[in-house]
Amino acid sequence: MKLISWNVNGVRAWLDKGAVDWVWEQKPDVLLLQEIKARPEQLTSEQLGALRQGYRDYWHPASRPGYSGVATFSRREPEQVHLGLGGALYDDEGRVIASRHGDVLLFNIYFPNGQRDHGRLSYKLDFYADLLALCDQLQARGEKIILCGDFNTSHREIDLRNPRENANTSGFMPEERAWIDRYLEHGLVDIYRLRYPERVQYTWWTYRFNARQRNIGWRLDYFLISQDLVERVKEVSIHDDVQGSDHCPVSLEIEMPQDEDE
């Protein structure tokens, strides 16, 4: 199963840039988009056609227009789809879609941004805590889970260009980074960093200061997977040469039991 995750920073603008063409060239089994900033009824028939390509699509937009939202596109119909975490506090912002694919429960997530003035930091940390509590429950039941999307946090100094200058910037504050540690302590694995412990690649660059051209970036987009899925991973990649958003796409290829039957 091939997964592509991408924070598109507005799905309509992303489509207008033709970035979806790269996606379909990769032939993913599941495409997971974050920060879509639109409802499907706001897209033209041409835009929807370019997005769907025969895939089943599931949308969880924010209540607030032009804000947040996630969408999942699956080549095969998932056995189960659930929108949100089950409460208006987070679900009004369209932050989570969970879909079941064989023995894997896949989460498409757009984690909150703590904001420059730290005004939403508590909200962000509460989201981390409540999602981890759900992950604990699922793994205790024997579920194999994959969390993917924009985590809005760089975990280690290797994960951003200027760590010292950003020690008090939301996205690299100690209390934010500590939540990534907790996820890893609770049976989840940052599969990119496990595979490539010394590799320096970023997934987000500000539009200011020619940051992308100068590669002054942050790794904010992850695949965290259950420990018992690690041996099934074929590849995990950051496609930092692909344009279309201030984020680049990340992909994961993982063996699935049904793959052996085909």
Active site residues: 150
Among the listed residues 213, 211, 206, 215, the one whose alpha carbon sits nearest the alpha carbon of residue 169: 206
In the sheet where 30-34 sits, what is the strand order?
56-60, 70-74, 30-34, 2-7, 250-254, 233-238
> Which residues have a Cβ under 8 Å from the Cβ of 63 and sit 6 or more positions away?
92, 93, 94
Tell the residue number behind the tokens 């789809």, with chain if given. Answer: 81
Burial class (CB in 10 A: 0-12, 13-18, 19+), 45: exposed
From residue 160, alpha-carbon distances to 10, 115, 128, 171 in Å are 24, 17, 20, 10
Mapping DSSP to helix (H, G, I), strand (E, B) and coil, where does residue 130 land?
helix
In the sheet where 96-101 sits, what is the strand order?
80-83, 96-101, 104-110, 144-150, 221-226, 188-190
CA 116 to chain centre: 21
- DSSP class of residue 112 equals P
